[in-house]
Amino acid sequence: MQFRFSQRAAWLPLFGIGLAAILPLAAACGGGSSSSTPTAGASAASSASATTAGSSPATSTGSNPIPADIGKSDHAQLTGAGATFPQPVYQAWFDDYNSKVASGVQVNYQGVGSGAGIQQFTSKTVDFGASDVGMRDDQITAAGGPGKVQLLPTVIGAVVLSYNVPGVNQDLKLDGPTVANIYLGTIKKWDDPALKALNPGLSLPNKDIVVVHRADSSGTSGVFTDYLSKVSPKWKDRVGSGTAPNWPVGQGGQGNPGVANLVRNTPNSIGYVELTYALQNKIAFADMKNKSEQFVKASIESASAAATGVTIPDDYRVSLTDVGGADAYPIATFTYLLLYKQDGKCSAQRPLANLLWWAYNDSGAQATIKQLNYAPLPASLVSRVDTTLRSLKCDGGAKPSLGGS
């Protein structure tokens, strides 16, 4: 098994150690992982008409260009909460923005899981939230309605099935129905006929499978169960999709770090985590059979392929699981920032919008995405996001959030 991961990711939790134990100024919340560092405030806006995603990452300033470092003179202490899935890249952005662009901007981001992030965003206790799944209609209504809430996709990531099976030194191959049956508890042993059929010639032990899932309300769980609901009628009927499903079997870990910790330290276990957490913790992960009947390894390229040709609506909410394409990894997703369209004080919202403008339009910030094993947004989508950022308002809609707009 060969692992490729960026040295940039070395701060990630090994053995499931939370970020709060590593990063200064981190404030633990809800049992999740937290990180406090430099960055900007929150806000968002209406988007352009629906387009089809391409495959090339790029940045765009459109007409009337705004420099990427528009916020270099900003000062703000910003707070955010939500998904652990994208936390590595967010933390790197926040660090770099403070050290290279705006030393007066600091961000305290709490990795508490998407569900808690949505709750804190809705209650307006943070400047921005983060989720790996788009907010549901009822959640948007609870947060003030479509006129108050803006989702922005940031990167594309992959959810992998990580495993720890002593003696198995070749890549494991899995398909959706088999994974669903493992998580339903109907496949109990590693040498089950279904697993042996997918892995001919591989010696699998007669050992109980230790199933690991998330203990918290999680966007990663939302993506994973969305996929299982598409590929397994039994899963859809018995469990369905959601950020906090009623798991039939298994033990829970807090956040992506907690699941990675359990899998790494529990023989004969299997659990789902974002790709970066498997790579950083040097945990094996399975090749997954996609909709085109091809076994695909999760990577930057295969996650990008999942977004190719997908029609993205005005509000950016779209599923990338189980899409067509021979090279597409089947459990991929956009991950989102949750922003206020016009609520909030400009003293926070403007630094946040300026920070995000930098993240989308600075070549170094975009390079960080790949360094941490995520896939950048297609160029056509970055251009749409730029338009959305330009439309954000603050102080009740009285002023634009983005500097220079």
Tokens encoding 261: 């910790």
Tokens encoding 390: 């330009």
Tokens encoding 276: 């970066």
- Bridge partners of 174, per DSSP, are 288
Residues 128-153 pLDDT 10s: 999 999 999 999 999 999 999 999 99
Tokens encoding 359: 């993240």
Write out the H or E segment, with its range, that includes residue 328. Answer: none
How, if at all, do strands 331-340 and 251-253 pair? unpaired
- Looking at residue 91, what is its pLDDT? 97
Round to whole Å and give the CA distance between 400 and 405.
7
- Looking at residue 169, what is its pLDDT? 87
Residues 46-84 pLDDT 10s: 333 354 554 333 334 444 589 999 999 999 999 999 999
- Looking at residue 53, what is its pLDDT? 55
Round to whole Å and give the CA distance between 109 and 90.
8
- Looking at residue 6, what is its pLDDT? 42
Rg (CA), the chain: 20
Phi, psi of 74 (to 5 degrees): -70, 155
Residue 229 CB contacts under 8 Å (≥ 6 apart), including other chains: 235, 236, 239, 240, 241
Tokens encoding 190: 């590693």
Tokens encoding 397: 């809609």
pTM of the predicted protein model: 0.85
Closest C-alpha to 135, from 272, 316, 376, 353: 316
Give pLDDT < 50 ranges for the chain.
Answer: 1-7, 9-49, 51, 54-63
Buried b / exposed e along 5-30 (16+ C-beta atoms within 10 A): bbebbeebbeebebbbeebeebeebb
Segments in 57-133 forming alpha helices (H): 87-96, 114-122
Please give the domain boundaries of the chain with CATH numbers for all domains. Answer: 7-155+337-400 (3.40.190.10), 158-331 (3.40.190.10)
- Looking at residue 28, what is its pLDDT? 32
Residue 180 CA to its chain's centroid (Å): 21
- Looking at residue 192, what is its pLDDT? 98
